[in-house]
Amino acid sequence: MGLLSHLKSLVFLYHRAASTFLLRIVTTLTLAPGVLKRVAPWLPASLETMPQLSAIYPIHLLLAVVLPIVAATIYLALRRRTVYLVDYACFRPSSNLRIPKAAFLEHAHVSPLFDNSTVNFIATVLERSGMSDETHVPHAHHYIEPHCGLDEGRAEAELVVFSVMDDLFAKTCINHGTIGALITNCSTFSPVPSMADMIVNRYKLRGDLRVINLSGMACSASVTAVGLASNMLQVMPWGSHVLVVSTETIGPFYYAGNKRSMQLVNVLFRIGGAAKLLSTSKSKARFRLGHFTRTITAANNAAYRCVYQEEDDKGNLGIALSKDLMDVAGNALKENIMTTGPLVLPASELLKFLFFYVAKKVLRWWKIRPYIPNFCVAFEHFCIHVGGPAVITSVQRGLNLSDKHVEPSKMTLHRFGNQSTSSVWYELSYIEAKGRMKKGNRVWMIGFGAGYECNTVGWVCIQPSSRMDGPWASCIHRYPVDVSKSG
């Protein structure tokens, strides 16, 4: 065991050293004389047959060999590596966690925690929520007076996280030892040891694993984690894998008061989770990472407090959603688009936008509407965070998207509810389950979260899924459905 441990340490040190710029240069300079020595025997014969080469000295040949190799080494060392999504998996809740809207409302009606005005408010939100009777909540929320302590919260997290991890490992057949980093995100549930440590313990991941545990970032954290994983892969040895696990443990933050702005989380949020495996190796990869853009507006006080965890006047802890949420989200999306547009839009769209922008500045006396770029020429599919019908509709109008483009978002909200950070992955799974994902198709994921943040990521499909084993496997034949009445 001692020898094996030393060998593992040597292998780790080698990989760390092999990825450094200095060792690449040293290796290049070391190999160059060897190359020169190889070509030296046939050099005199070449000079005899071609007299014009007689002025070439060995130092010239050395430079001719070394300089291109050094230049190629510098280029390969400094260029940004391409990142791939090997595969992903979404949590499939069991039927015993299902809660019809009538049962949810009945629990609120008989609960001593809520007054009549709160029950009426819950009924109105449920009616307009765009959700069906097939959404799921954790076991703790099935009681008349939900109680979720540390043990119940940890059990919910383990149920979701271990399920998606098992599905992902079964899909990818990856050796656990090849995972070099683990990123987890869960906003309000932060046990000790962390959720990341919980995963390491369960799957016996390697001891030199890089571990990051994100919290407090709400619904945009999954997209943020993808950007973080991409940055980590730039400095890890080529071919490394980063595992990203996203969930929201909703049991512990059930709000037991009567403040309406804090009741929305109770009504809209549902259980869910997703696991993703990213790598710089294209082997078995299904998507290529196109771009990642992060926009944070927390410097603005209104934006900072629009999703805010606090206590009400009776000491009940919950998350309050501001009435300015839609305006804040719209402004954050506009800022994100200004950064993302030049990265993904063709020149024709950028020129149109520039023309209208200049015209509006110069011809101020004319009411010229700002030009909204056509993002449909840059992406075939859109995964918009399912914060609610109003959020989806607002983004649809803002980007001039068709009903077909927002169908994955509306159907995910209908079938699974607001699953917070993992919802965009259920939407991607919906697109694949419907057989709409083709090789070369581009996907734009748009996540909104506390802070306030708007984070987006683009993917390019390399290999569409050939299996129907995701969360939509048993119900995709029933979709799409008409949600206009409930939405």
Quick one: average pLDDT of 76-81?
69
**Do 214 and 151 reside in the same domain of the chain?**
yes
CA nearest neighbour of 188 among 309, 11, 316: 309
Question: Is the N-terminal amide bond of 480 cis, ω within 30° of 0?
Answer: yes
Domain-terminating residue out of 62, 78, 94: 78
Residue-wise pLDDT for 330-343, tens only, equals 999 999 998 999 89
Q: Record the tokens describing residue 84, joined without a space.
A: 């791939």
Is 297 part of a structural domain of the chain? yes
Structural domain including 433 reads 84-478
Residues 98 and 40 in one domain: no
Angle of helix 116-128 versus helix 101-110 axis, rounded to 10: 170
Q: Are residues 10 and 156 in the same domain?
A: no
Same domain flag for 92 and 17: no
Same domain, 97 and 67: no
Residues 18 and 165 in one domain: no
- Mean pLDDT computed over every residue of the chain: 86
Confidence at 467, pLDDT banded by 50, 70, 90: confident
CB contact at 8 A, 251 and 148: yes
What CA–CA distance (Å, rounded) separates 483 from 123? 17
Q: Among 116-130, 141-155, 196-210, 423-437, name the one with the lowest average pLDDT.
A: 141-155
Residue range 198-253, pLDDT digits in tens: 999 999 999 999 999 998 888 999 999 999 999 999 999 999 999 999 999 999 88
484 within domain boundaries = no
CA separation for the pair 309, 372 (Å, rounded):
35
What pLDDT was estimated at residue 216? 87
- Give pLDDT, residue 188: 85
**pLDDT band at residue 61 using 50, 70 and 90 as cut-offs:** low
The total number of structural domains in the chain stands at 2
pLDDT given for residue 217 in this prediction:
87
H helix and E strand count, the chain:
16, 11
Rg of the chain in Å (alpha carbons): 27
- Final residue in a domain of this structure, among 50, 78, 106: 78
Position 485 scores a pLDDT of: 58
What is the reported pLDDT for 47?
44
Helix axes of 347-362 and 325-344: crossing angle, nearest 10 degrees: 120
Q: Cβ neighbours of residue 325 under 8 Å, at least 6 residues apart? A: 306, 307
pLDDT of residue 353: 80
Same domain, 197 and 60: no
Question: Residue 389: what pLDDT?
Answer: 92
129: tokens are: 């929520």
State residue 38's pLDDT score: 58
Among 34-38, 349-353, 432-436, the range of highest mean pLDDT? 432-436
Do 331 and 370 fall within a single domain? Answer: yes
In this prediction, residue 373 has a pLDDT band, given cuts at 50, 70 and 90, of confident
Same domain, 235 and 260: yes
Is pLDDT above 70 for 278?
yes
9 & 95 share domain: no
Q: What is the pLDDT of residue 12?
A: 43
Question: Do residue 370 and residue 322 come from a single domain?
Answer: yes
pLDDT at 218: 86
Here the tokens at position 336 are: 């994100």
Percent over 70 (pLDDT), the chain = 81
Structure tokens of 106?
């009945």
Q: Please give the pLDDT value at position 14.
A: 43
Question: Which range has highest mean pLDDT (7-16, 78-87, 356-365)?
Answer: 78-87
pTM score, two decimals? 0.84
**Same-domain check for residues 323 and 430:** yes
Reply yes or no on whether the pLDDT at 27 is more than 50.
Answer: yes
Assess if residue 317 is contained within a domain. Answer: yes
Distance, in Å, from the CA atom of 149 to the CA atom of 65, rounded to the nearest integer, reads 67
- pLDDT at residue number 80: 83
Q: Which of 162-166, 189-193, 366-370 has the largest mean confidence?
A: 162-166
Query: How remote is the C-alpha of 72 from its chain's centroid?
Result: 33
Q: In this predicted structure, what is the pLDDT of residue 313?
A: 92
pLDDT value of residue 483: 85
